[in-house]
Amino acid sequence: MRTIAIPLLTGTLLLALGCGAEPGATTAGPAGTGSATAGNPSQPVSHTVAPRTEPTGGVPKPTRPQGHTDKPRKVRWLSAKPSKDGRSLRVTWWSGVEPCHVLDRVTVRETAKRVTVTLWEGTSSKVKNPICIAIAVQKVTTVKLKAPLGDRKVVDGAR
């Protein structure tokens, strides 16, 4: 039994090491060159992974406040672009996937000189012990203003 196990284990190990290499992949060994082969399995195998594309395809995901999240916190936004009539703002930010990152609410404080927009995100209270992947998603929401923006400055309330 022992004479069969050692060659089988060695063959499995060599197969596993060979599976990680792409054709033409090289490793940086002591000499700086060379490729991983069955004759030299102790050198690490390096390979390049293609970059991931965003799941939203470059288009922000339209999002509405859901309310009732657990432990909502302030989230910084990237941009707040006014509509043509200046009565609303299109707010864009980076976030995570639901149910771990849910837009709870948006608070807007308007004065004569500025409009402060604060985004609040939390974990959905509808899902207990959620497991979420760590991936960035660009989101967008529309915020209505009480008065047209005019010359007022738009400020991020999370900063």
The string of pLDDT tens digits covering residues 74-124 is 999 999 999 999 999 999 999 999 999 999 999 999 999 999 999 999 999
Q: Using a pLDDT cut of 90, give the percent of the chain over it.
A: 55
Q: How much is the pTM? A: 0.62
Among residues 148, 85, 159, 83, the alpha carbon closest in space to that of 117 is found at: 159
The residue whose two tokens read 């985004």 is 119
- Extract the tokens encoding 93: 């930010």
- DSSP E strands, 45-150: 61-62, 69-75, 79-82, 88-95, 102-110, 114-124, 137-144
Instruction: Compute φ and ψ for 19, nearest 5 degrees.
Output: -70, -25
- Report how far residue 141's alpha carbon sits from residue 126's, in angstroms, rounded to the nearest whole number: 21
- Report how far residue 141's alpha carbon sits from residue 63's, in angstroms, rounded to the nearest whole number: 5
What's the helix, strand, coil split of the chain in %, to 5? Answer: 10, 35, 55
Give, as one character, the DSSP assignment of residue 52. Answer: P
The domain spans of the chain are: 1-49, 61-156
- Report how far residue 103's alpha carbon sits from residue 134's, in angstroms, rounded to the nearest whole number: 17
Tally the residues of the chain: 159
pLDDT of residue 127: 87
